[in-house]
Structure 1
Amino acid sequence: MTFKVQTTDIDLGDTPIENIFISDFMPMAHGTYVKVYLLGYKYAKDKDENINVDNRTIAKHLNIPLADVLNAWDFWETKGIVKKIYSETHDAEYGIEFLNLKQLYIDNIIRPQNNNYIKPYSASPDEIVESKNIPIINEMFNEIRLVIKRYITPNEYKRIYEWIENYNMSPEVIIRAFQFSLEKKNRRNLSFVEGIIRNWYADGITNIEKLDEYLSNRDEKFYRYNKVIRYLGLKGIASEPQKKYIDRWFDEWNFSMELVLRACDETTKISEVSFDYIDGILKNWYKDNVNSLEDVEKRNEEFKAGKQDKEEQPKKKYSPQKKKVYTQFHNFKQRTTKYSAEELEKKVRKNFEKKING
């Protein structure tokens, strides 16, 4: 069996891309940054010197703002795979030199010549065994298993554990990287997740506080889902029904994160976490125009005051109703409408007096 690539009658040109870029750098980058790199690389490979291109050319060709092009070069420069070449006359303008990725790999990995080169940390078998007795490490791997939905092999365990040292990453951030990879890219493989971690490391994100700040600006929905789920003490990523609830709280009812988390606190009054229960609380707050924590406290105090007033009201004493005393006349059944009640009473008394007086 052989593999062949069809050729054309006319050579329209090719742009070879190094596999190192595709395997190691492309997965960690935003799609726009990849497009900018590839188009710039294509222009760099073109042999026609009569064609003059710059960053504005790339922006126009990709139909994106110039700022996105400049941000892309800033990003790739931090990764160490391009170098900016500034003009002698205009400090604000610069060209781009694409560094040879194979040479970078040889210089920094295969035969490092820099005395400051630090060899990546490699955990020993004893360290791996001991790590399983550390609760926070066990928790990290339990949550990762929930995300990737399979058993973690010994080699994968070792590789993930080494990220803590090599990237100075907290276990919480590593968990979040797996969740982000699945949620946003539907990817579970370790190489892709490590690309995300390298990207965050380059941006100075090594703890959960910095990551929350970063995601709240870059990917607000993922930040919301994860923040609420973690606050409620749940594991894994938000389910689709849970996402619908959270979207309604923020997008439809426009609640802030602090108000949503305050409503989540109310779940301590019931035996288990219930999104229906939280939704009911927020629905009532929305109807009552509750817009701040101060509004919540004021509402609660008014409710307590009303309840206390109701409890302090004196209870009505029971007073038995007096029994009606019925006379002979009350039992008299009227057989005619000729006389009124008074006339009938006079008639009865007159007859009674006659009998007594003889």
Structure 2
Amino acid sequence: MSFNLETTEIDLGDTPIENIFINDFMPMADGTYVKVYLLGFKYAHDKDIDIQVNNETIAKNLNIPLSDVLRAWDFWQNKGIIEKIPKKNGNEYDYEVKFLNLKQLYIKNNYKPVSSMSNNEEVSSNNSYNCSQKDLIEANKIATINEMFNSIDYIMRRQLVPNEKKKILEWMYNYNMNPDIIVKAFFYSVEKKGIRKVNYVEGIIRNWYDSGITNVEALQEQLKMKDERYYRYERIMKYLGYGKGIPTESQMKVIDKWFDNYDFSLEMVLKACENTNKISNPSINYIDGILSSWHSKGIKTLDDIEKKDKIQEKKDIDNKGYDYKKAQPKRQIRATGKQPVKTRFHNFEQRTSNYTSDELEEIVRKKRESYYFKVKGE
């Protein structure tokens, strides 16, 4: 293969890159693939016949393996924006790269002549679905679709316009995406990347589709490997019973605090979430109270929780105490082996421990006799 590069002492030229590539194709690709495309496009645009470049040249200039360059060209060919033209030498890895005109592709795929379409035809020349106004009206009547649009409005902090809604419905059909994964794509774009552009979200959807991600479960596995923070949001919200709900900005700040400031593991946070089983309306604030308490007490692991529970259990036993008045007869039984004789005066608290029960009985009897004779006048 070959690329032409103009010979100059200092490269002060320009390489025009179409906005269609930047807006629609670049967001869906790995960074290495983008670099390979741009450098190859530059070589093709320079048209210098004195310098021969090939895939090895690109690999060397980008400091990447040759295999990455070959995979990049396979990727862009699958996207339909380049063509690999094999040479006649029989080497499948030796080919020319033809960069297709993206503007022409866009016109070809999106603007089919009206005369070539029937009144009821809703499929474009590339067999993709084009949403009509009638389709949009009917889709809004479906609860899950309407909920999806409302969730996206909240994430975007504005209402979607009809054309944007139609485009989203086209994604669902063309990429076989369900409403939940569409909402996740908008959330990922806004909260993770800080970008509120529908075209950028479409790039994410395409990238997920190419990676075989068409449902929330597959997305969670992908994010677990690539984006731990986003994966935490997913697990915690699901553990608290919010299902597929999206955390608010304030909730995300609280969750981030548990990991960034308190340095808790996901295992510890989910352990705290278990305490919500007895609560009808669990909340992030309730979990925050538990984790803040653990943090202040220096509890960092599950073993620390177990040790704390044992210490607390011992304290509870020590603080129960005993009713020594009720325990006294039992002590006397153990000491004498006989059951003490109880009188009605045992119900009163003794003023001193110097008298036995028989002595107290005698004192009371004498006082009663003294009172009796005094009343009789004797």
Are the equivalent residues in 2 in contact too, given 1:120–1:166 (CA < 8 A)? yes
Match of 1:118 among 123, 127, 131: 127
Q: Who is 1:202 aligned against?
A: 210
Amino acid aligned to 1:78: N
CA 1:279 to 1:221, structure 2 compared with 1: closer, same or farther past 3 Å? Answer: same
1:266 maps to 2:278: no
TM-score (norm 2): 0.65
1:316 maps to 2:323: yes
Distance 1:61 1:41 in 2: 14
Superposed CA deviations along residues 146-202 of structure 1, whole A, max 9, x for unmatched, are: 111112223333332332222211111111111111123321121221222122222
Percent identity, aligned pairs only? 46
Q: Who is 2:37 aligned against?
A: 37
Q: Who is 1:212 aligned against?
A: 220
Superposed CA deviations along residues 215-252 of structure 1, whole A, max 9, x for unmatched, are: 22232323223443454425345446225325338x93
- Superposition deviation, residue 316 in structure 1: 3.2
Q: Who is 1:221 aligned against?
A: 229
- Superposition deviation, residue 284 in structure 1: 8.9
Match of 1:235 among 235, 246, 266: 246
Distance 1:36 1:325 in 2: 99
CA 1:68 to 1:287, structure 2 compared with 1: closer, same or farther past 3 Å? Answer: farther
Are the equivalent residues in 1 in contact too, given 2:110–2:124 (CA < 8 A)? no
Cα RMSD between the aligned structures?
A: 4.3
Q: What are structure 1's unaligned runs of at least 5 residues?
A: 1-9, 328-358
CA 1:205 to 1:264, structure 2 compared with 1: closer, same or farther past 3 Å? Answer: same
Are the equivalent residues in 2 in contact too, given 1:85–1:97 (CA < 8 A)? yes
SS in 2 for 1:96: strand
- Superposition deviation, residue 214 in structure 1: 1.8
SS in 1 for 2:17: coil
Superposed CA deviations along residues 61-99 of structure 1, whole A, max 9, x for unmatched, are: 334555554443343233222334567465556653323
CA 1:74 to 1:324, structure 2 compared with 1: closer, same or farther past 3 Å? Answer: same
Q: What are structure 2's unaligned runs of at least 5 residues?
A: 1-9, 117-122, 327-347, 356-378
Distance 1:315 1:40 in 2: 87
Q: Who is 1:330 aligned against?
A: none
Distance 1:288 1:200 in 2: 36
Distance 2:58 2:11 in 1: 24
Are the equivalent residues in 1 in contact too, given 2:112–2:124 (CA < 8 A)? no
- Superposition deviation, residue 206 in structure 1: 1.2
1:247 maps to 2:247: no
- Superposition deviation, residue 42 in structure 1: 0.6
Q: Who is 1:161 aligned against?
A: 169
TM-score (norm 1): 0.68
Q: Which range is displaced more, 238-247 or 210-219?
A: 238-247
Are the equivalent residues in 2 in contact too, given 1:173–1:207 (CA < 8 A)? yes
SS in 2 for 1:323: coil
Number of aligned residues: 308
CA 1:317 to 1:135, structure 2 compared with 1: closer, same or farther past 3 Å? Answer: farther
Amino acid aligned to 2:99: F
Matches within 5 A, 1:1-358: 12-64=12-64, 66=66, 68-84=68-84, 88=89, 90-91=91-92, 96-111=97-112, 117-125=126-134, 127-232=135-240, 233=242, 235-239=246-250, 241-248=253-260, 252-253=263-264, 255-256=265-266, 260-270=269-279, 271=281, 272-274=283-285, 275-280=287-292, 283=295, 287=299, 289-290=301-302, 299=306, 306=313, 310=317, 316=323, 318-319=325-326, 322-324=350-352
Distance 2:141 2:124 in 1: 36
